[in-house]
Amino acid sequence: MLLSLIYFALRQLLRALAPSSGDDRAREVELLVLRHQLRVLNRQRPHPALRRGDRVLLAAASRMLPKACWKTFLVSPETLLRWHRELVRRKWTYRQGRKPGKPALQEGTVRLILRLAKENPRWGYQRLRGELAKLGITVSATTVASILKALGPGT
């Protein structure tokens, strides 16, 4: 998420710093890309090691240049598009901390539902839900029906 925010800010900064004319803007961004690639090549080992920040800068700059100018990049256009897709994917990825949906009922509530159903076999799930509501326990009739179907009143 933070990387996507930096990417967005960098794109806006490039757009603000470049002149308003389309050709001039493309030329300025192309010069910026070439200068940055020279820095990358200066720290090269057997082949250039692009860091995450380098990828963000090149992906943001590629959005400012026409596709005809993409031949100036160290990497192929497919790689630039892949980096851009990864940045967009990261922006729309949410944390997997907890499962979606409502939290499970407490064990005591489930036991109470089963006890009421066992002691009152003629009550349906709607009546059980109403009796639980009188006790101050909020649970849906569908949940009561699901518990009775899964565990049964006899257990």
For residue 83, is it within any domain? yes
Is 61 within 8 Å of 33 (Cβ atoms)?
A: yes
Q: Classify residue 136 as left (phi > 0), alpha (psi -120 to 50) or beta.
A: left
* Per-residue pLDDT, 48: 67
- And the tokens for 79? 């790689």
For residue 102, is it within any domain? no
Per-residue pLDDT band for 81 (boundaries 50, 70, 90) equals: confident
Residue 93 has pLDDT above 70, yes or no: no
Q: Which DSSP category does 74 fall into?
A: S
Q: Could you report the per-residue pLDDT of 8-39, keeping only the tens digit for each?
A: 787 777 777 665 666 777 777 788 888 888 77
Q: Range of 137's domain?
A: 107-151
Q: Could you report the per-residue pLDDT of 97-137, keeping only the tens digit for each?
A: 667 777 788 899 999 999 999 999 999 999 999 999 999 99
Instruction: Report the 10 Å Cβ neighbour count for 56.
Output: 20
Q: Could you report the per-residue pLDDT of 140-155, keeping only the tens digit for each?
A: 999 999 999 988 765 5
Same structural domain for residues 56 and 15? Answer: yes
Residue scoring higher pLDDT (68 or 130): 130
In the chain, how many domains are there?
2
Q: Which DSSP category does 155 fall into?
A: -
